[in-house]
Amino acid sequence: MFQWKWMTNEAALEIVEWEYNDNLSFYNIQNNLDDLDEFLNPFKWNHYAAIYEGEGLVGYFTFDPLNIHEVEINIGLHPDLVGKGKGYSFAEYAIKTAIEWYEPKKLLVDIPEFNQRAIRLFEKQGFQTVNRSLNILNGEEYLFVRMEKAIV
């Protein structure tokens, strides 16, 4: 059973050290100075949660309220748990938490197109692709898929 807690310095420092392999290394926070700066800045943690299972830190959520009706979500699962069958329940918990916190009419997520596993995971959660956009991160171009889910 997952449990969220507000982000702490200890949790943030642990998360930024996580190392994903292969193409998922895109998610290594220490490789992107903007992400690293944001993640280590407690003044930006209003919408950040560290996620625990028992006593172990297993992931995080960040929520970005775009307006009164829409919230963008971002989730990160511990690299040792990727591909181990926890993603669906983890994403489900993030969605449930975002709805409880913000009561939005719509949830949004942006996923690099190369991460087909994450795209399928959010499709199973009821998200639909609404557009694609080219973004430049760390000097490289990535195609992102914008997905949304209406909350009824």
pLDDT at residue number 50: 97
pLDDT band at 23 (very low <50, low <70, confident <90, very high): confident
Mean pLDDT of 107-133: 97
Q: What is the 3-state secondary structure (H, E, C) of the chain?
A: CEEEEECCHHHHHHHCCCCCCHHHHHHCHHHCHHHHHHHCCHHHHHHEEEEEECCEEEEEEEEEECCCCEEEEEEEECHHHCCCCCHHHHHHHHHHHHHHHHCCCEEEEEEECCCHHHHHHHHHCCCEEEEEEEEEECCEEEEEEEEEEECC
Provide the whole-model pTM: 0.92
pLDDT tens string 83-98 = 999 999 999 999 999 9
Other CB atoms within a 10 A radius of the CB of residue 128 amount to 11
Other CB atoms within a 10 A radius of the CB of residue 26 amount to 16
In the chain, where are the structural domains located?
2-109
Least confident of 7-11, 43-47, 111-115: 43-47
Q: How far apart are CA 99 and CA 112, in angstroms?
A: 24
pLDDT at residue number 139: 78
pLDDT tens string 26-77 = 999 998 888 889 889 999 888 999 999 999 999 999 999 999 999 999 999 9
Other CB atoms within a 10 A radius of the CB of residue 39 amount to 21
Q: Which fold has domain 2-109?
A: Aminopeptidase (3.40.630)
Chain centroid offset of residue 144 CA: 14
pLDDT at residue number 137: 79
Q: How far apart are CA 152 and CA 104, in angstroms?
A: 9
pLDDT at residue number 59: 98
pLDDT at residue number 32: 84
Instruction: Report the first-to-last Cα separation within the chain, whole angstroms.
Output: 25
